Amino acid sequence: MDWETRLNAYQGYKMEVIIEDVAGTDPLAPPTARTLHHVRLAEEQTHLQFYFNETQFLAIPVYDDDRTRVEQTGAETIFCSHDDSAKLIYKLRFID
């Protein structure tokens, strides 16, 4: 999957960032809203970097299986990636 190209279609969209701790060891962080500036695949091709501006980004691991996917229900689009080693689930809900 060419995640970089597919997700760059959401440049300028507001997105809700949700990080869930599956292990339950850390308190849940409240969702935050950011605007997507651009997306870049890291050189190692293991993480997508979701930029909020020219320099600040959130790196989310990507996988070639169903741990990384885009879910579309009606007008809502959610990028989701399950990081089994860190016991985290990353969700980005794009808001039109």
**CATH code where residue 36 lies:** 2.70.180.10
Mean pLDDT of the 57-64 span: 96
Give 62's contacts (C-beta < 8 A, 6+ positions apart).
3, 41, 46, 47, 48, 68, 81
pLDDT tens track for 73-87: 888 899 999 999 999
Q: Domain range holding 38?
A: 3-95
pLDDT tens track for 5-35: 999 999 999 999 999 999 887 777 889 999 9
Enter the pTM of the model.
Answer: 0.91
Looking at residue 95, its pLDDT comes to 87
Q: Domains in the chain: how many in total? A: 1
